[in-house]
Structure 1
Amino acid sequence: MVLCQTASMSLMDISKIFSLLQPKEEEEEHTSDCQQLNQAVSNDDDKLLAELLSQERYRRCINSRSGWGVPGTPLRMAAAQGHLRCLEVLLAQGAEVDSLDVKAQTPLFTAVSAKHLECVVALLRAGADPNGSQYNNCSPVLTAAREGDVDILRELLQHGAEVDVRPKVPDWASNATACRGPLYISAVYGHLDCFKLLLLHGANPDYNCTEEKMLARIKQPKTVLEMCLRYGCGTEYIQLLIDFGANVYLPTLIIDKTTKQNEAVVLLLKERVCPKTLMSQTRLAIRKYVSMANRMRALDSLDIPQTLKNYLKHIS
């Protein structure tokens, strides 16, 4: 008798649970509205999207996350697919510009990964954080540097993105990988334009990572100069690092017996015995001051001849 009663109660409880899981009528309507909104974005139908968003019921879906795979907002979908017109409509209607998906990726990060420059520009102008989300291990700058998207990288840096950003790892996992920032990545992947652009915007020419605590945890941290020599990046990379003030006495790789005495090594050895000119040292000092003040774009506003401005910007 007791067993029968227990079984009967269990079945009743299960029935209640399933009844609670059944979507209510208003929830079904909301889901349907969100699907219509997403479909308009997917079809790049900006006119239909604007018409839908003129109604309150659809505006409630503007920041709703849905879809298969990686559920995201309509803005994320527009950024991922490069649908600029829909993206602009969503932003004009108040879509959350830095909304996160389940991977902690912002719409900007998605646009950068998909190489949609116009969407990147629109999101940045709308106030998107150029550094992406603090909860994501990667960043838009790291992604652009790896892919060699110099135009996207320029937009990010001009909007204040951190130039020496590094992968986010917990303190206990600190290793050489944690120091592999954009400058290192652009060199290893052979993106010379990105490499120079990062230096122009104040990237540290010695270490990607400038955190003393992090460097202290890593055994024999490698400089960017040393890594360029190891990966055979060529004289262009070495000369740029020298011009931007890299410490030529830090690398130890050149004394390794397995290292070939190529042109890059010869260039480095020559720099060790020939001190920089006063003009070159003056440029480094001025750029260091401007960089510390986070006013790299202020070079154009200096009351000096255009020739000197070009020299400070390494324009020959």
Structure 2
Amino acid sequence: MLPFIPKQPAIKQESTACWRSNVDEALDTELHHVAERGDATEVKKLLSTEDGQASVNRRNDYGCMPLHLAAARGHEEVIRLLVRTEAKLNFPDVKAQTPVLLAVKGKHVGCVRILLEAGANPNGWQNSLCTPLYQAALDGCLEIVRELVTHGADVDLSHIRVGLFVCTPLYGAIIHKRLDCFKFLLCSGANPNYNKNRVQKLFPGRAVQSFFHAVVKHKCPPEYAHLLMEFGADLYQRDEMDKTAGDLHFKSDTVDYIKELAATPKTLKTTCRLFIRGTLGREDVHRLPELPLPTKLVHYLMYKPECGEILELQLET
């Protein structure tokens, strides 16, 4: 079945006033040093002392707690020990990076999983430009993308903007041609018309480029355009220069394919699939197997012909 799309978790954000006051204390503690080294035995000893416990949520010059350092270095056992001692999971460092984001940047899948299972916010810090999911999609780390989505990460959330265009995780997958992440995000409910819908709501009459424009500009192969079409992206959306993706002056197989798509009506199968999935909505689309339909048809509605290997990977976990 499709990746389960849970409702967004209600995660409490800690007050910034608290951590800013702690930054003034400035110096690394012994717990910072051993956590960064990954010395779980020494961490355990320190946590059994009063001074060690008082250092769990202390910050150094960079606003890092011991948990930040352990997450950045990929020390799973140290993270487990700190989490059990009530380390703050969602505090940012001075760059607005939470431990989850640092673990994502280091591609430490196990650390990401431990933090998320302990209740860390999969969307990171609210004032950070980069969300954990955007970073994972940009890096092409499918395992981490899957962990974040499974634990409730918003598949469309991003604070990175270029003009009116919001660089969602789907765009992050386009930039570096991360096809597996691109497929997974679409199957997980990423909106291929996110920017169009957002701009029309906030600025009626204004234009913004589509993901079709993005796949052309970033020289992605035609498969990206095919997937966007199958998932319902608007092929005729015009950018700020009043051009569709097919109008762009790029010589590539992708532009030729987009022009071919624009001249060909969608099949009835594709139209019906989009209508059925749209009727269910993102939060209920994982219930497609419950429909009283032949297995082959259910598989089609779940995009198995296009994304079968990605869906199988999800089922195995």
The two structures share one fold, judged by TM-score above 0.5: yes
Residue matched to 1:136: 128
Unpaired runs of at least 5, structure 2:
1-24, 239-243, 306-317
**Residue identity matched to 2:223:** E
Please report how far the alpha carbon of residue 82 of structure 1 lies from its aligned counterpart in structure 2 after TM superposition. 0.2
Amino acid at match of 1:284: L
**Structure 1 stretch displaced more, 296-305 or 108-117:** 296-305
Q: Could you report, residue by residue, the CA deviation over 1:180-236 in whole angstroms, capped at 9, with x for unpaired residues?
A: 222122112111111111111111213447423786299631000122123321111
C-alpha contact (below 8 Å) 1:164/1:203 kept by paired residues = yes
1:313 aligns with 302
- Confirm or deny that 1:232 pairs with 2:219: yes
The residue number in structure 1 matching 2:168 is 181
Q: CA deviation at 1:148?
A: 1.4
Task: Confirm or deny: 8 A CA contact 1:63 1:96 kept in the other structure.
Answer: yes
- What residue in structure 2 maps to residue 41 of structure 1? 35
Asked if the contact 2:63–2:93 (Cα under 8 Å) also holds between the matched residues in 1, the reply is yes
The alpha-carbon deviation at position 179 of structure 1 amounts to 1.8
CA offsets per residue over residues 142-185 of structure 1, 9 Å max, x none? 1112211121111111111111122256xxxx714x42222122
What TM-score do the two structures reach when normalised by structure 2? 0.77
Q: Is the 8 A contact 1:209 1:215 kept in 2?
A: no
Q: Is 2:102 the counterpart of 1:110?
A: yes
- Please give the alpha-carbon distance, in whole angstroms, between the structure 1 residues aligned to 2:294 and 2:87: 45
Give runs of aligned pairs for residues 206-285 of structure 1, distance below 5 A: 206-208=193-195, 210-212=197-199, 216=203, 220-251=207-238, 252-256=244-248, 258-260=249-251, 262-285=252-275
In structure 2, the CA distance between the partners of 1:271 and 1:289, relative to structure 1 (3 Å rule), is same
Q: Is the 1:206–1:225 contact (alpha carbons within 8 Å) kept by the matching residues of 2?
A: no
- The answer (yes or no) to whether the contact 2:246–2:256 under 8 Å persists in 1 is no
| Corresponding residue number in structure 2 for 1:123 | 115
User: AA paired with 1:259?
Assistant: F
Structure in which a larger fraction of residues adopt helix: 1
Question: Kindly tell me: are residues 273 and 108 of structure 1, through their superposed partners in 2, closer, same or farther at Cα, counting changes over 3 Å?
Answer: same
Whether 1:147 aligns to 2:139 is yes
Distance 1:235-1:131 versus aligned 2 partners, 3 A rule? same
Structure 2 partner of 1:87: 79
Measure, in 1, the Cα distance between the counterparts of 2:205 and 2:29: 49
CA distance in 1 between counterparts of 2:260 and 2:288 reads 31
Q: Which residue of 1 aligns with 2:189?
A: 202
Q: Mean alpha-carbon deviation: is it higher for 201-210 or for 72-81?
A: 201-210
Letter in 2 for 1:268: I
1:164–1:208 contact (8 Å) kept in structure 2: no
* Residues 118, 273 of structure 1: alpha-carbon distance in 2 compared, 3 angstrom cutoff: same
Normalising by structure 1, report the TM-score. 0.78
Percent identity, aligned pairs only?
A: 35
Unaligned residue ranges in structure 1 (runs of 5+): 1-29
CA contact (8 A) 1:164 1:209 kept: no
The 1:63–1:235 alpha-carbon spacing in structure 2 relative to 1, beyond 3 Å, is same
Distance 1:122 1:309 in 2: 34
